[in-house]
Amino acid sequence: MSVSFADPDTDPVPLHIIEQGGIDDWLADKSSDITSWVTASGFTGAIGQAVAVPGADGTVSMALAGYGNSTTRSRARFHLAAAVPRLPAGAYRIASGLPADRMETETLGWLLAGYRFDRYATARAPDARLAPDASLDVPRLLAIAEGEVLARDLINTPANDMGPSELEEAGRDLAGRHGAAISVTHGDDLLAGNFPLIHTVGRASDRTPRLIDMRWGDSGPQITLVGKGVCFDTGGLNLKPGGSMALMKKDMGGAANVLGLAHMLMATAAGIRLRVLIPAVENAVSGNAFRPGDILLSRKGLTVEINNTDAEGRLVLADALALAQEENPDLIVSMATLTGAARVAVGPDLAPYYCDDTGFVSAFEAKAAATDDPVWRMPFHAPYEAMIEPGIADLDNAPKGGFAGSITAALFLRRFVGDSTYAHFDIYGWNPSDAPARTKGGTGQGIRALLDTITGLTGT
């Protein structure tokens, strides 16, 4: 679906943002009609409250939206978006009460409050639309919202309609939109091109594995984004139980997120040289599926002992990361729905990430806080390196014992990266329940903070 603002020339209804406990002060100089109406509505300024005030002709003359207090705002994000479903249909403009430093984020939240995944069934979005404040960079906000919507739509699409070929099509559509170059290596050509792990993981499926390689921009820092594109994960021969397989359409959430971020970067004309690498596979079961106990050779020349075929995401990422590092870019970012351990550690709302570059970390965490895009830094804990060294091969794809699963996966990936600044995101990519501006289903995580951080590298 698309996102859009209301036309500011349509005489939008003024919307006043009221903090909890501030309604009496706001009403102090208002007419008795307004005071009586608002009082009778029970409006207190709590997050999610909204009231439309009628004028003399019965139409909406103004509206109020609750903004809570510092405590309730700390427990949520996109606070204004919570009121959007409770406003009558029409166009609105923010007239008062919203701090200037919250205008951009709350406006984005309103845009995203209109998101519905409607490919398979009619889904009614809120009819209240916002006319943007004159202080805002409207094209940039639309680019951010569109990137988020792209990520959500890709994740929400079921695997029967989102396999490796459809993910390639999404990449080609994005490249065509922005004039980017794209090449794709398919099937047995992966072996000829020295991508053995991508081929091995995907070969059991009748949906051909592939590596998608997109490039855009000809000047500025070189940024390479690598996204896990496992379009469905059965677990392979280490077959997942049914309950664990139910959400595996989202196992390409890393790819969806880097495509959403790529759109944001290209649509805002970021001054970078961008490369996007997506190993797109389906981890299936058949007679030629890779097996527990196999030892595989990677693009980098490191051997990997397979102790669990359900730890396949790090394998396909390994070949893509090795390719990325061959150009020694300024920054490599990998995004993947990689481990259940990360979800156990921080839940679905935080985006766990790994990075040892203090300059990147400082800038990124500041942007994450400013954009309401919550993240949590995890450690590349060097003493755990021994856990991913099985002795019979260079690396173990699934260390036994169950300890530090997200950390050992991150350490595994880091073995395929050299001197470039490297940040790895072990995201969930899914909202388990509806929240303001964040419907249940696929979601972007960390990509708005990454957009601002990467843009900051160029000084634009």
pLDDT in tens, 34-63: 999 999 999 999 999 999 999 989 899 999
Where do we find the tokens 């699409």? Answer: 157
103-142 pLDDT per residue, tens: 999 999 999 999 999 999 987 777 899 999 999 999 999 9
Instruction: Write out the catalytic residue numbers.
Output: 240, 314
User: Over the stretch 376-433, which tens digit does the pLDDT of each residue have?
Assistant: 999 999 999 999 999 899 999 999 888 999 999 999 999 999 999 999 999 999 999 9
Token pair belonging to 131:
């006319």
Record the pTM. Answer: 0.97
pLDDT per position as a tens digit, 333-373: 999 999 999 999 999 999 999 999 999 999 999 999 999 99
Q: What's the pLDDT score for residue 341?
A: 96
In angstroms, rounded to a whole number, what is the distance separating the alpha carbons of residues 127 and 88? 7
β-sheet bridge partners, residue 450? none
- CATH, domain range 141-458: 3.40.630.10
Q: What is the DSSP string of 139-196?
A: HHHHHHHHHHHHHHHHHHS-TTS-SHHHHHHHHHHHHHHHT-EEEEEETTHHHHTT-H
What are the φ and ψ backbone dihedral angles of 219, each rounded to 5 degrees? -155, 160
Which pairing describes strands 441-442 and 430-431: parallel, antiparallel, or unpaired? antiparallel
Sheet holding 303-305, edge to edge: 295-297, 303-305, 395-396
The string of pLDDT tens digits covering residues 268-282 is 999 999 999 999 999
Token pair listed for 440 = 């249940």
Say if residues 267 and 146 touch (Cβ distance below 8 Å): yes
What confidence score (pLDDT) does residue 185 get?
98
pLDDT, one tens digit per residue, over 288-335 is: 999 999 999 999 999 999 999 999 999 999 999 999 999 999 999 999
Do the beta carbons of residue 421 and residue 363 sit within 8 Å?
A: no
Nearest C-alpha neighbor of 290 from the set 199, 361, 169, 372: 199
Burial classification of residue 305, based on how many CB atoms lie within 10 Å of its CB (0-12 exposed, 13-18 middle, 19 or more buried): buried
Contact 215, 193 (CB under 8 A): no
The pLDDT value recorded for residue 3 is: 86
- The answer to whether 337 and 216 have CB atoms below 8 angstroms apart is no
DSSP states of 360-423 as a string? HHHHHHHHHHHTT--EEEE---GGGGGGG--SSSSEESS-TT-SSHHHHHHHHHHTT--SSEEE
8-136 belongs to CATH 3.40.50.450: no
| Residue 57 DSSP class | T
Check pLDDT > 90 for residue 440.
yes
Backbone angles phi, psi at 232, to 5 degrees: -155, 140
CB atoms within 10 A of CB 213: 18
Q: Which residue has the higher pLDDT, 285 or 126?
A: 285
CA neighbor of 367 nearest in space, from 255, 457, 431: 457
Going by the DSSP 8-state scheme, the letter that residue 97 receives in this structure is S
Q: Binning pLDDT at 50, 70 and 90, where does residue 170 land? A: very high
156 Cβ partners below 8 Å, 6+ apart? 117, 119, 441, 442
Give the H or E element holding residue 284: none
Domain residue limits, the chain: 8-136, 141-458
pLDDT at residue 1 tops 70:
no
